[in-house]
Structure 1
């Protein structure tokens, strides 16, 4: 019998392990990890794309950061997200600042295991599923877990934040 290749732990996985939060992980074994990764991962796993969430990091005019998790096929509504976060407005954090701010690269950003805990908003549709997918902290790595566990662990707020 061939041994199953062990997936290298990420900060997100280590933090969830330490907190006793159960999750399943899946790694996309493909060289092309370009745009549309979240949608492709959901489709290849036979999962509902609406239950697979991408992580977007936004910034307010005062420089505060807000993490937003929305379904991979949706677009963030900045006005709704700003209102839910109690901010005047929000805009995307420039990609060049992402790794220094979060510890993650574009396409591998997880709401769990960032360098610092930021206020987090998760689209309210997460409640419709027993399990949702989020980035595992590396491009091509997905974690599936209970939305209640994710909300509890991150201290997130559920809100309508998509267009």
Structure 2
């Protein structure tokens, strides 16, 4: 499955970066340190928009974080590194990359190293506002397992998103 996703990335995303741009909504999040993505967790990001510039060597991600019942909008810019991953600063150092994309969903992996040095591996699934189908959720469970993230650490967050659309 990982090899298939990487092949998809290599052949599909090379010309599909324009498909990444636009309005997106966080559908599901998974993390090995699940406390970071629980409600009001620092990495429970409600994505709203992705934009690319410089041939997608820079990717802006606009999202909300809900802390203390208040939604705060943030935009970060990820700069593509030599290994193809994007790097940005938010709640520490982040290295993220899209690993699968269709017109309906994009799956990102992210490695966050917070200010205390704690490393958290994450998966973000963004979509067009529809929940994952049972088949998509099953694939997410398989991918999470390959990323050493327990399936019980997957959070479907679309219905919990109360931040401005």
Q: Which has the higher strand share?
A: 2
Q: Which has the higher helix share?
A: 1
Q: Would the TM-score normalized by the shorter structure come out above 0.5?
A: no
Q: TM-score, normalised by structure 2?
A: 0.35
Q: TM-score, normalised by structure 1?
A: 0.35
